[in-house]
Structure 1
Amino acid sequence: MVSSKKSLFVVVAGCAFTSMASMRVCDAMLPQLAQEFHLSTGEASSVIWGFALAYGVSQLVYGPMGDHYGKLRMIAFATLACALSNAWSAVSSNFDWLLVARCVAGATAAGIIPLAMAWIGDTVAYEARQVVLAKLLGATVFGMMSGQWLGAVAADALGWRWALALLAMVFGVAAVALFKAGGHRCTPAARPSQGGRHVYCAVLQRPWARVVLLVTAMEGAFAFSALAFIPSYLQLRFGLTASAAGLLVVFYGIGGLIFSRVAGGLVRRCQAAGLAKIGGLCAGLAFMAMAVTPSWYAIPVACLCAGFGFYALHNTLQVNATQMAPAHRATAVAMFACCLFLGQSLGIAAASWLIEQSTPSLVFGVAGLGLLMLGFLFSGAMRQRGPNAA
């Protein structure tokens, strides 16, 4: 990318960082939210899956708007809206209003990361795209780590409202930076002649697109149903504080950051199909290890391996998503994100029910087995399809 594009990429990556931080900030707060509002942990988790559900459904709006009005323009306005929705979350007077505000926050955050991916798809050649997407992935992973840590520290020391207020301020700074960089003035690429449902049909008519979207939904259900409950699991089973639990989960993000740094070499050595298999193997075994470990001492290593594996599989899916329908790239990537977060919301809701009936260990075991199988099956499908699997 030329210098101006690199500068824009840094600003867009900052918006993506904050978007992911807002998504994960409530993970470590669940016991505190449950105590303050007199709920079970499963009931309190609706602030997580409600965010994810709104995030996923809103993709059906942002994709066509990104194709029509311009991807960077939509990112700029979505980031500004995120500042307002997180401020609303911070001042919510009861749990019902907090849930509504978190759903609105999910709907506004939905216009950032998928459109950033689509913008990279428009501006970076396919041969270099996986490495650039891995850099964006690094920003989102760091955002995830920061959000989990911020939520944990706030829950222990400051109060959960302060974490959401700080996110509102960071979103405001990011929005101002993107507006100053001229993102809102960037003109869109040539607009597709079709609109509405015809655009979605054009993507779904491609058999490989249907495979990628199905695998993405299953990936979201398995991975995030486990990830969302790691902090509360550590607090309730091993008696750790919210800060300590949040710190251990940071290793999941460190695994993702390690992947983002070595992605280029792995792609050259293993190719995309091999990367999907490695990702499913690492994530699957790591989550299954969490289900049976008798001590929290094994959790950092398990989180590290789970994060590395998940992002290896997910990055492979991202590259395929940017190439599913080049003529409708923003819509295709938005459908990819929609499937990911609808899968996430359904997975977390199912995991909440399962925890009420059984134990979190069962959730980790099911998630691990599912990711293991998913990685191997998708890798086999890519090899069967050939070298141009994207």
Structure 2
Amino acid sequence: MLAPSPADSEAAPSPAALTRFLIIVGFCGFASALSMRTLDPVMPLIAVEFERSVVEVALLTTWFTFFYAFGQPILGPIGDAFSKPRLISLALVAMSATTAVAAAAGSFGLFSVARGLTGIAAGGVIPLVIAMIGDRFPYEQRQVALARFMVATLTGQIMGGLASGVLSPLIGWRGVLSVIAAIAGVSGIVFYLAMGRRDVSKRRPFSIGQAIANYRDILANPRALPLYLLVACEGALAFGFFPYVAAILLARDGATSVEAGIVITGYAIGGMIFAFSAKWILKSLGEKGMIRLGGVILCLCFLLFSIPAPWWTALPIFMMIGFGVYNIHNNLQTQATTLSETARGSSVALFACLLFAGSACGPPLVGLLMRLAGESGALLLYAAGVLALGLSAPRLLKLDRKAN
């Protein structure tokens, strides 16, 4: 594995300054993450309102992630050239506007367009924040810092899924989206006032030629292609089943949207358990051990979820899914911050592009497997896939860094 760069060895800012920075960017990550899992618990309700099948509505997750992914190759270089903090502020305000349009949409077509545009806007937040963390934290502290930031994003996912499931009977799914739109708008303004207008980083005009040159340099790194392939597989395997969870639980046990929201929230809770224990796990197992542990846990969880049972038994399973996913994901995204020191926004953006491209392929793949092999058969195949991912990733990335 490559040694830490010179930038990693520079004196870090004071702990108090880094803590303030993580709190500020955490608020942005929270606001952006709210929209990611919001629709999962209410897929059946949206299907009824727009007179569509659950499968059709579930493909909105693919639609959102498709636009999130393929906005990245442009947003990353713009952030590198212009200003990451200012682009993050603008993205949050744009996300507020498009979410408000989705909340008011009178047709499935307009709703789909608004969700796609929300995906582009949301893609200008978390990947650029991760790049900013890479700019400020040396390698030895970076994975723990990313785990701390993940607390905020996972809290957003928890609140998004839980609010959607719990509040939709009271204010409807449209009311939930309206609240999320307001939070995104406020967070964009607050972030601009706190960091955007104070950003004094050197700016240069955006150039497509320079962006292409940056990507060429990133892909010349021998670890880049294996890393990007792995994260695409992670996206398809880890998130493919989420849009179907509410329908699966409804068919098995008559679970309501509230109960489905509680189960999906378990994923984020498991991720938060990882985030608070990441420093200890890293010290105990090292990077290789963390990734392998994640693969084994995910395999067992998919095997357990393949067995029909009351809806509440899925909650601990999804907590362990969240814990397992982030044992893998946090290591992969930490590696993404090391691929380039001069175009870190671009390297992380390409990482996010492949992650969400994989996530976009996941639901259609799950739908195909469920038609061919049934619900349990599809879950068994996914169990084998995540185990292979966890066991092969350390070797493909040539991870040999000992526990820090």
Q: 2:88 aligns with which of 56, 69, 75?
A: 75
Gap runs ≥5 in structure 1: none
Q: Deviations over 1:286-328 (max 9, x none)?
A: 1221012433343122111111000110001011011112221
Q: 2:263 aligns with which of 236, 248, 257?
A: 248
| Post-superposition offset of 1:16 | 0.8
**8 Å contact from structure 2 (residues 252, 310) kept in 1:** no
1:197-276 alignment, distance < 5 Å: 197-276=212-291
What SS is found at the alignment partner of 2:34? Answer: helix
**8 Å contact from structure 1 (residues 322, 333) kept in 2:** yes
1:321-332 alignment, distance < 5 Å: 321-332=336-347
Distance 1:49 1:154, change over 3 A: farther
The residue aligned with 1:57 is 70
Specify the code of the residue in structure 2 equivalent to 1:140: T
What SS is found at the alignment partner of 1:196? Answer: helix
The alignment status of 1:86 with 2:105, answered yes or no, reads no
What count of residue pairs does the alignment treat as equivalent? 388
1:121-136 alignment, distance < 5 Å: 121-136=134-149
Q: Deviations over 1:156-177 (max 9, x none)?
A: 3321101110000100111121
**8 Å contact from structure 1 (residues 87, 165) kept in 2:** yes
The alignment status of 1:304 with 2:314, answered yes or no, reads no
What SS is found at the alignment partner of 1:182? Answer: helix
Distance 1:189 1:276, change over 3 A: farther
Q: 1:47 aligns with which of 60, 80, 87?
A: 60
**8 Å contact from structure 1 (residues 288, 369) kept in 2:** no
| Post-superposition offset of 1:349 | 2.1
The residue aligned with 2:50 is 37
Specify the code of the residue in structure 2 equivalent to 1:220: G
**8 Å contact from structure 1 (residues 19, 109) kept in 2:** yes
What SS is found at the alignment partner of 1:24? Answer: coil
Q: 1:9 aligns with which of 5, 22, 26?
A: 22
**8 Å contact from structure 1 (residues 74, 184) kept in 2:** no
The two structures have a TM-score, normalised by structure 1, of 0.94
Q: Deviations over 1:30-87 (max 9, x none)?
A: 1111111111111011221111000000001111011101211111111111111111
The residue aligned with 2:9 is none
In structure 2, C-alpha distance between the alignment counterparts of 1:358 and 1:98, rounded to whole Å: 32
In structure 1, C-alpha distance between the alignment counterparts of 2:370 and 2:400, rounded to whole Å: 41
Specify the code of the residue in structure 1 equivalent to 2:298: A
Q: 2:359 aligns with which of 332, 344, 347?
A: 344
The residue aligned with 2:4 is none
Q: 2:184 aligns with which of 171, 179, 184?
A: 171
Q: 1:283 aligns with which of 298, 322, 327?
A: 298
In structure 2, C-alpha distance between the alignment counterparts of 1:341 and 1:309, rounded to whole Å: 18
Gap runs ≥5 in structure 2: 1-12
Structure 1 stretch displaced more, 172-181 or 259-268: 172-181
Specify the code of the residue in structure 1 equivalent to 2:121: T
**8 Å contact from structure 1 (residues 20, 140) kept in 2:** yes
In structure 1, C-alpha distance between the alignment counterparts of 2:66 and 2:352, rounded to whole Å: 11
Q: Deviations over 1:319-348 (max 9, x none)?
A: 101111222111000000000000000111
Q: Deviations over 1:186-220 (max 9, x none)?
A: 13357699613221111111120111100000000
Q: 2:170 aligns with which of 157, 164, 168?
A: 157
What SS is found at the alignment partner of 1:216? Answer: helix
Specify the code of the residue in structure 2 equivalent to 1:196: A
Specify the code of the residue in structure 1 equivalent to 2:262: L
| Post-superposition offset of 1:89 | 0.8
The residue aligned with 2:3 is none
**8 Å contact from structure 1 (residues 286, 306) kept in 2:** yes
The alignment status of 1:117 with 2:133, answered yes or no, reads no
The two structures have a TM-score, normalised by structure 2, of 0.91
Q: RMSD value over aligned CA atoms? A: 2.0
Q: Deviations over 1:339-369 (max 9, x none)?
A: 0000000111222344455544333323222
Distance 1:184 1:297, change over 3 A: same
